Chain A
Amino acid sequence: MSSIRHTAQRVRIGYKDDVLNTVFLKNYLDGVTCVANLLLRDRDKFSVYKNAVEVLYETVCDPLVGRQWRRVCLDHLYKPLLKAECYAHNESDRIELARIKIDMNTRRPVDL
């Protein structure tokens, strides 16, 4: 079974041959949206999108992953990030998101 969790692991590892596969990433992000659409509470939707942000961002920062794939992930990072921002209604969620964004600004990979 190719669950979102499993797909997320594949996103993290990237493609061995550094092959661009935006369709694969689109499927992952569609899956994330599908799971979020099943939830009723905004805080739970936030968690789903925040996890996706973390998966993509960790991939972007991972020097062991192919550069092309990391660029693809960076290009798509804004999608779950914007969604997460939409659902960050309480203070702790906003702080968590701010922490991730500060980290993004300070730890931006130099080789991309």
Chain B
Amino acid sequence: MTATRTERDSMGELQVPENALYGAQTQRAIQNFPVSGQRMPEAFVRALITVKKAAAQANMKLKVLGNDRGQAIVRACDELLALDDVIQHFPVDIFQTGSGTSTNMNANEVIARLASRYSGEEVHPNDHVNYGQSSNDVIPTTIHVSAAIALSNELIPAIEGLVSIIEVKAKSVAQFCKTGRTHLMDAMPVGMDQSLLAWASQLKQQLKNLRAVQPAIQTLAQGGTAVGTGVNAHANFATTFSDTLGELTDIGFKPADNFFALIGSQDTAVTLSGATKSLAVTLMKIANDLRWMNSGPLAGLGEIALPALQPGSSIMPGKVNPVIPEAVAMASAQVIGNDTAITVGGQSGNFELNVMLPMIASNLLSSLSLMTNSATLIGEQAIEGFTVNQDNIEAALYRNPVLVTALNPVIGYAKAAEIAKAAYKENKPVIDVAEAMTDIPRGELESLLDPKKLTTP
């Protein structure tokens, strides 16, 4: 049996594991919320500790928190941030009080306990670590801070990296033409680089969408305290806090013009989730295009061969599957699902407080992380290394009856349709059938039906 110590809070005494850094309120939350077994994401916990550090530094600058206690709090935060397994001190379930008070108090208790060891005086979780703050502004702030960090330092660079990989790959496959497809049916030829650059263009648009959310996600509720009025905080706390946090994170944060809006709603999180969902849709399209192009190798399209990463079947020897695009497609599906949960969460602001904050935080950070890792994986493990099956794409390309479209201006739609039907029926290249059914010399037909020429206006 685990050894315990007795802790007390305003509701009385209870037993806490002897070595735990957290205290009574965290222990109550552990007991009250055995819902999912999932803890708050590490990115959120790290951002929360940084918020507490910035708050202590701001309060010291404003001379409302003594230097001894303040420095002890800062040191405690630094020690926690340096831990690889910091999450072990944050055991509260995601599905807890809607304001995230349990997680805020978890941080206050852990930091206070460590800080008390470093300071000659007792550091109190509420009176010192949480000075001038409320869970109601700390948690919305931490959602924004953690999401801003994930967006600026992880997701955007990952998408930029993917765009770069696609553009380089497009250059390397620019000499290949392949059958274009609409409705999954054969259509006019396209350059393989055109297909890839379309993906890159989609991703660039997604980057614009994500960057457009950055100013809003870098706007903070901190300083609004309980309901947005700022009661119990120093008048300059919000500005000083944002500046300090900016120094710690290298991201330009600013206080909200209206704290009530950022505490009572989660509109920015919904917007960012929407932009992330849009990115997921793009990645899903890219993943599915890759899967189709890689299908076969004999009975599918077989246009490309993705890098073989692992055996694909436990029973069929030699089978290799497009595992990375599949993983990315699943991650994209999860992000789309997360967005629905976040949308419902965003609707759950009643008067002065949104009460689905931990769920929003968890799903938003999950989406950002899934997209970051997916973008890296699909770029480095699928797109960068695929090879083109030139024989397959050319065989399909030259037998494609739709090529005859290029003859429309010369022989008219009706005659072209006859040639297409004959080519399809006899399974012959269009050029051979056109030579037999028209007076156009072979050389001119070769020029007219050159797939490369058909990929430009």
Q: Given A38-B46, A41-B372, are A3 and B154 also a contact pair (CB < 8 Å)?
A: no
Q: Does chain B have a CB within 8 A of A105? A: no
Q: Given A3-B252, A44-B157, are A38 and B247 also a contact pair (CB < 8 Å)?
A: no
* B153 with A44: CB separation less than 8 A: yes
- Among B46, B243, B248, B369, the residue within 8 A (CB) of A31 is B248
* A34 with B243: CB separation less than 8 A: no
Interface string of B375-407 (1 = CB under 8 A from A): 010001000000000000000000000000000
A34 vs B57: C-alpha distance when bound (angstroms) = 14
* Closest B residue to A33 using CB positions: B82
Which residues from A are CB-within-8-Å of B246? 1, 3
* Closest B residue to A32 using CB positions: B250
A48 vs B376: C-alpha distance when bound (angstroms) = 17
Q: Does chain A have a CB within 8 A of B102? A: no
Q: Does chain B have a CB within 8 A of A39? A: yes
Q: Given A1-B243, A3-B247, are A38 and B157 also a contact pair (CB < 8 Å)?
A: no
* Closest B residue to A5 using CB positions: B250
Q: Does chain B have a CB within 8 A of A104? A: no
Main secondary structure of the interface of A (DSSP, over half): helix
* Closest A residue to B253 using CB positions: A1
Q: Does chain A have a CB within 8 A of B7? A: no
* Closest B residue to A48 using CB positions: B153
* A4 with B250: CB separation less than 8 A: yes
Which residues from A are CB-within-8-Å of B154? 39-41, 44
Which residues from B are CB-within-8-Å of A44? 153-154, 157
Q: Which residues of A from 20 to 52 have beta carbons under 8 Å from B? A: 31, 33-35, 37-41, 43-44, 47-48
Which residues from A are CB-within-8-Å of B214? none
Which residues from B are CB-within-8-Å of A90? 380
A39 vs B250: C-alpha distance when bound (angstroms) = 12
A44 vs B78: C-alpha distance when bound (angstroms) = 19
A3 vs B42: C-alpha distance when bound (angstroms) = 24
A80 vs B246: C-alpha distance when bound (angstroms) = 21
CB distance from A59 to the nearest CB of B (A): 19
Q: Does chain B have a CB within 8 A of A106? A: no
- Among A3, A37, A41, A47, the residue within 8 A (CB) of B250 is A3
Which residues from A are CB-within-8-Å of B16? none
Q: Given A40-B154, A40-B369, are A35 and B42 also a contact pair (CB < 8 Å)?
A: no
CB distance from B214 to the nearest CB of A (A): 15
CB distance from A77 to the nearest CB of B (A): 20
Which residues from B are CB-within-8-Å of A47? 157
* Closest A residue to B373 using CB positions: A41
Which residues from A are CB-within-8-Å of B252? 1, 3
Which residues from A are CB-within-8-Å of B153? 35, 38-39, 44, 48
Interface string of B30-44 (1 = CB under 8 A from A): 000000000000110
* B250 with A35: CB separation less than 8 A: yes
CB distance from A10 to the nearest CB of B (A): 13
* Closest B residue to A7 using CB positions: B247
A-B contact pairs, 13 of them (CB 8 A): A1-B243, A3-B246, A5-B250, A31-B248, A34-B81, A38-B47, A38-B249, A40-B43, A41-B154, A41-B373, A44-B153, A44-B154, A90-B380
Identify 18 new A-B residue pairs, CB closer than 8 A, beyond the known A40-B46, A48-B153.
A1-B243, A1-B247, A3-B246, A3-B250, A33-B82, A34-B50, A34-B78, A34-B249, A35-B153, A35-B248, A38-B43, A38-B81, A39-B154, A40-B154, A41-B372, A44-B153, A44-B157, A90-B380
* Chain B contacts to A: CB under 8 angstroms: 42-43, 46-47, 50, 78, 81-82, 149, 153-154, 157, 243, 246-250, 252, 369, 372-373, 376, 380
